[in-house]
Amino acid sequence: MREGADRYGAGTSSVRFICGTFDVHRELEDRIADFLETEAAITFTSCWNANGGLFAPLLDEQDALISDELNHASIIDGIRLCKAQRHIYKHMDMDSLRDALENSQAARHRLVMTDGVFSMEGEIAPLPEIRELCDQYDAIMTVDDSHATGVLGDTGRGTPEHFGMHGEIDIITSTLGKALGGMAGGLVASSREVIEYLVQRSRTQLFTNAIPPHSAAGALAAIDHLEAHPELVTRLRENTAYFREKLTALGYSPIEGDTPIVPVIVGETADAIALSTKLLDEGVFVIGFGFPVVPHGSARIRAQISAAHTREHLDRALGALDRVGRELGIL
């Protein structure tokens, strides 16, 4: 990142199509396409902007957009900007998705959108079943993999790799702001035709500056580092399994799953916030979430496990969860 700032300066001072595209942006987009095994990719200032600028250029009133009911807010807002017919299917319910596909057969094109990993639940979408239905009903399969890129799969390539489907998703959106460096930036990866069309028509890409060059340089380095050190993904998986097992042994009931997002349902928002606050007093940073981020009555704390955590770190956190849970009467 320092080298990128030294070479390119703080920012582009322009939108991409005027004079805001630097060679580091092109290099990063080629690298992302190679990493996700698509023909091409385009970067945005955030994945929020990637989802916000994806649907409207590709779909109109003749088309249908089919979305999981718990998809991320950025997907919901992107759908609101699109004139396509809207169909919402029940969360990860394949019968409900089939019904939506059946009910939209009169549409010119159908696009199915799902999160790869749902951020508040830590659940992994059933991509093989979604792919099968999309093939059966001639629909486009799109996945927001923001919470899986750099995390799931043997080499960190996300939910498609997790299911052995790497390279089989029609459109992928994701972020550079989490596992891949934690900086600015989002992306869309797809066929060359889709990407070239978005370059011309996606308003959230056309009318805002490119991501800062130092962030692009940092994201490139993050992908290189991930590919050179697959043991980081293995360590993350081991840390996650250990933490989930010990947390359950304490008496907590985390939402089941294999991801490093470990939500623990508490119930009332006040209880979740109290638990989060007291854990912070113990030196453990776990955020509490309540309505409207999650539905009424399902307030939770959400632990996030990292490859950088040692066993000592995890044991310290588990000890604090034990003490504070008993103090508050949650355990």
From 25, 72, 87, 147, active-site residue: 147
From 67, 74, 119, 146, active-site residue: 119
In the sheet that holds 287-289, the strands lie side by side as: 261-267, 299-304, 287-289
- Is residue 23 helix, strand or coil? helix
* Pairing status of strand 64-68 against strand 85-89: parallel
147 annotated active-site: yes
Q: Closest by alpha carbon to 205, among 61, 47, 39?
A: 47
Q: What is the CA radius of gyration of the chain?
A: 21
Spatial distance between the Cα atoms of 292 and 96, rounded to a whole number of angstroms? 24
Q: Closest by alpha carbon to 226, among 36, 24, 30?
A: 36
* E strands in 47-104: 64-68, 85-89
Please list, in sequence order, all residues whose beta carbon lies within 8 angstroms of the beta carbon of residue 227, skipping any fewer than 6 positions away: 35, 155
Amino acid identity for residue 41 in this structure: A
178 annotated active-site: yes
- The phi and psi torsions of 328 (rounded to 5 degrees) equal -90, -5
Q: Fill in the DSSP letter of residue 254.
A: B
* E strands in the chain: 40-44, 64-68, 85-89, 110-115, 140-144, 171-175, 186-190, 261-267, 287-289, 299-304
13 annotated active-site: no
From 178, 214, 215, 298, active-site residue: 178
Catalytic residues: 119, 147, 178
